[in-house]
Amino acid sequence: MKLTSYDDLIKHVRHEHHHEIVKCGECGKEFIHEKDRLHHSREEHQKKMEGRIHKSDHKHENESTSPQDEVDAHMRKFSDNL
């Protein structure tokens, strides 16, 4: 059977095979297999998190730091020693 879209595949599997569909908790995209959801999560959502972490590590020196920034820096400094 050849289906025209990914959504059609999901509908087919759900209704014809009574297969449990796995949903991404962050964006709601549906997958037939858990391994596909995990791959999606690593590729799509982990890259976004790494970008956010990377961005926060390179703040300009002249920007004022918030109390949360100071706590985060403290945690990074001391958690590396454990």
Count of Cβ atoms closer than 10 Å to residue 69 Cβ: 13
pLDDT, tens only, 13-44: 888 887 788 899 889 998 988 899 999 988 88
pLDDT, tens only, 38-73: 999 888 888 776 666 655 555 555 556 677 777 777
Please tell me which residue, 75 or 55, carries the higher pLDDT value: 75
What is the C-alpha separation between 49 and 23, in angstroms, rounded?
19
CATH number of 1-53: 3.30.160
DSSP H helices, 17-57, are: 34-40, 47-57
- Look at residue 54 in the predicted model and tell me its pLDDT: 56
pTM above 0.75, yes or no: no
